[in-house]
Amino acid sequence: MRRVFSGIQPSGIPHIGNYLGALKNWIALQNTESALPPIYCIVDLHALTTLSGHPQQLRQLTIESTASLLACGLDPKKSIIFKQSSIHHHTQLAWILSCITSSGVLGRMNQWKSRQKTHNSTLGLFSYPMLMCADILLYRSTDVPVGDDQIQHLELARNTAEIFNRTYETDFMKIAELILPSESGACRVMSLREPLEKMSKSNQSEYSRINLSDMPSVVKSKILRAVTDNESRVSFEPDTRPGVSNLVSIYGSYSDKTIEMVCQEFEGKSTHEFKIALHDLLIEKLYAYQTEYQRIMEDKGYILNVLEQGRKQALEIADENMKQILEMTGLSYN
Ligand code: AQP
State which amino acid sits at residue 317.
I
Ligand 1 pocket test: pick from 4, 9, 192 the residue with the most ligand atoms within 8 Å of its Cβ.
9
What was the pLDDT predicted at 331? 96
What was the pLDDT predicted at 112? 86
Is the beta carbon of 8 within 6 A of some atom in ligand 1? Answer: yes
Check: CB of residue 6 under 8 Å from CB of residue 40: yes
pLDDT digits over 199-234, tens only? 998 888 999 999 999 999 999 999 999 999 999 999
What was the pLDDT predicted at 144? 97
How far apart, in Å, do the first and last CA atoms of the chain sit? 31
- Give me ligand 1 centre to Cα 231, in Å: 30
ipTM: 0.95
**Residue ranges of the chain whose pLDDT lies below 70:** 183-185
SS3 6: strand
What was the pLDDT predicted at 35? 80
Check: CB of residue 67 under 8 Å from CB of residue 81: no
Dihedral of CA atoms 272, 273, 279, 281 in degrees, nearest 10, equals: -150
Is the beta carbon of 74 within 6 A of some atom in ligand 1? Answer: no
Task: Let me know the angle formed at the C-alpha of 165 by 159 and 167, rounded to the nearest 5 degrees.
Answer: 100
Looking at the CA of residue 147, tell me the nearest atom of ligand 1: 35
pLDDT digits over 262-290, tens only? 999 999 999 999 999 999 999 999 999 99
Check: CB of residue 185 under 8 Å from CB of residue 22: no
SS3 5: strand
- CA nearest to 6, candidates 153, 126, 108, 200: 153
pLDDT digits over 139-154, tens only? 999 999 999 999 999 9
What was the pLDDT predicted at 185? 63
CA distance 197 to 1: 37
- Give me ligand 1 centre to Cα 21, in Å: 8
Is the beta carbon of 132 within 6 A of some atom in ligand 1? Answer: no
DSSP symbol at 206: G
Contacts of 88 (CB under 8 A, 6+ apart): none
**CB neighbourhood size of 169 (10 A):** 7
